[in-house]
Amino acid sequence: MAKKTLNRRRFLELSATVGASAIAACAAPAAPAAPAAPTTAVVVAPTSGGDAADFAGVTLQVWSGATIAPPAQLAADQWSKLTGGKVVVTPVPYAERSLKFAGLITGQDSNIDLIYAAGTFVGRFGSKLYEDLSNPDLGVDTSVYVPATIPVLSNSGTLCGLPIHSEMMVYIYNKTMFAAAGLNPDSPPATWSDLYGAAAKLQKGDRFACTIPWTSSVGVGAYYLMYLNSIEGAQLLSDDRTQVLFGGDKGLLAFERIEEGLRAGFFTPDLGADFEDYATGKLFNEGGTASQINFAELWGYAVGKSPTDFPTTLKPEEVGVAVVPGVNPGGTGSVNGFEGLGINKFSKQKEVAMHYLKYVTGPKFQLEMNIGGTLPSSLTAVLENPEVKSVYAIGETIAKQGQGVLNRYATPYNWDPPISDAIHKLVDGSMNAKQAHKAAVEGVEKIVQEYYAA
């Protein structure tokens, strides 16, 4: 299989944006290439996406995220050979997506045919931007996808996108370092407090026990959610996104557990605002941290699935993986990183776009992508395929992690900044857990009130 499928680091550098699902910071965003002029619409009957068709002379424009750009491009190359059509995949930096996507709505712009879809943007734009893929005429069978992916890519009954992968955050650790610290390398401590107790033994020089980009300029709230989501019954927001629900003891407990780890010296300090999930993975691969919370994609890089673009100094057998530790015994929480593509409701080439979309999320390509070893397929049958199981050792952990809460609370407003700011102050010591919790809750409440007041 072509290695291009897995070279996400190259796309990260080209677009200067975040990778796995908008967690990381954007350093110097580069503007995406201008879209080509729209071509004449071609109307075809919906197909399975694997059938040959004649789309010669048709060009589809795709606005993608950095992580899914490589598989989207590889699928585009294969689809072009199958159909004669052309697909231009342009990664849009995270910091620019909301404004550019809103521009498609206000301008009713038909130049872009397929658009990046993830919980944040589906929650924000919904049917104002995305074509409803649940329309029976399109022939989409949602039952073939990992069940948890479909609600994340839906908004108020509108299926806004089809998932390209079923990515989520897990706990990735160095078995050699854990064994040297007297820990069981095959079964690390399952709670944060128990892990914090091993901080001193796991630290060596400037290597610390765990790296989480608490000081990142974007998306720190997702790391807070891993703590909150592990607490039974805890919620950040109400299901209708009108109420702030983390203001009680459970929301405070999550802040307290983060503070406990910071004060124990468990986390790598002084990472800076530009440090993100790919930088975390690079540090882990170089032996610069004993563990990381990161997406399954970064596990693939750690075990050597992309040696050219994302090298590693580790042997595959040194790389351990487990569910994310819980705040309380028996609990685990994570966040989904589900990403896919939707069809721009203003596109004049919707049925051609649907043909390509079914191809990139279809069984033939999905099997090829998953065997590559970094991104887990969005198709249940592919994940259960014996060939995939034999080469994708992380699959069992993903299945177990997926039984916990993965909610990232997609909203039409951005609730993250107050939580990120509060955690930054928790890190620098200017606030304690109680103060940070109070500031975060009040900040999110203000955002919610202002949104609905407007």
Q: What domains, with CATH codes, occur in the chain? A: 3-166+337-401 (3.40.190.10), 169-335+413-453 (3.40.190.10)
Position 229 scores a pLDDT of: 97
Both structure tokens of 409:
């609370």
Burial 418-443 (b: 16+ CB within 10 A, else e): bbbbbbbbbbeeebebeebbbbbbeb
Position 420 scores a pLDDT of: 97
Pairing of strands 169-174, 114-118: unpaired
Question: CA-to-CA distance for 328 and 304, rounded, in angstroms?
Answer: 33
**pTM, whole model, 2 decimals?**
0.82
For residue 289, the one-letter residue type is: T
Average pLDDT, rounded, for the chain: 89
Residues in a beta bridge with 322: 171
Identify the residue whose tokens are 């609990």. Answer: 331
Position 37 scores a pLDDT of: 35
Position 150 scores a pLDDT of: 95
| Low-confidence stretches of the chain (pLDDT beneath 70) | 1-51
Sheet holding 169-174, edge to edge: 291-295, 169-174, 319-322
Question: CA-to-CA distance for 247 and 259, rounded, in angstroms?
Answer: 17
Query: What DSSP string runs through 331-360?
Result: --B--B--EEEEEBTT-S-HHHHHHHHHHH
Position 51 scores a pLDDT of: 62
What are the phi and psi torsion angles at 84 (to 5°)?
85, -5
- Tell me the residue length of the chain: 454
Position 190 scores a pLDDT of: 97
